Structure 1
């Protein structure tokens, strides 16, 4: 299990290095989603640094919409943000994946931490679907 304190510190560090500001953390404490979000605000947009609870993989995505108690579900939209990805990789606390890697095919052999049951049930096509999802 990835360490949430390390995730929070990492988000603050990379936000500062990339001239952003951490706006909030959305910590998943239920079965779904299987990832946490650190929302970083920049002048022209907000992005989410997402951390997969099962694998410790990190990526950059469009933030989920939260309305009241309800959270937008469905596949994440991973985005290219080279400066932020570079800062995350330099930090070396997590496995950092790019939008291109996450759009690629999923190979279960490379991710033994994932549930065989979930993989057989949900049949993810991409690495992004397998690592960051709302499966129950």
Structure 2
């Protein structure tokens, strides 16, 4: 398991080192299964998303985790930001996944920590869908 304090600390440090400002840290009550740190830079905003059950992180377009007025629960849009990913990769605790990693076909044997009943029910097609999702 990953602790939210650890992810929060990682994201604040990451924002400082990359010249960004962490403007929001989103912790869902139940779903999705990931935390999201929204970081603003001049001219763009990105999110660091961290799975709450395995130490993996990625960069994505920010999205609302609120389900009002409309439920937003489709797959995340992962972004390719090599300079930012390189800074994230300096951490030894977390594996940084690129959009290419996350778009690969999902193979449950590669991710044994995931609940088999969830995999059987939701049938994720990609690694990104399996690791960062809105399953209940």
Which TM bucket (shorter chain)? Answer: over 0.9
SS at match of 2:50: strand
Listed as ranges, the gaps of 5+ residues in structure 2 are: none
Alignment of 1:48-87 (within 5 A): 48-65=47-64, 69=68, 72-87=72-87
Name the counterpart of 2:105. Answer: 105
Name the counterpart of 1:34. Answer: 33
Q: Deviations over 1:78-105 (max 9, x none)?
A: 0011111111111222111011100111
SS at match of 1:91: coil
**C-alpha RMSD of matched pairs (Å):** 1.6
How much has 1:118 moved relative to structure 2? 0.8
Name the counterpart of 1:8. Answer: 8
What TM-score do you get using the length of structure 2 for normalisation?
0.92
How much has 1:29 moved relative to structure 2? 2.4
Q: Deviations over 1:104-124 (max 9, x none)?
A: 111111111101011111111
Decide which moves more: 61-70 or 102-111.
61-70
What TM-score do you get using the length of structure 1 for normalisation?
0.92
SS at match of 1:46: strand
Distance 2:5 2:111 in 1: 24
Listed as ranges, the gaps of 5+ residues in structure 1 are: none
How much has 1:9 moved relative to structure 2? 1.1
Contact 2:26 2:65 in 1 (8 A): no
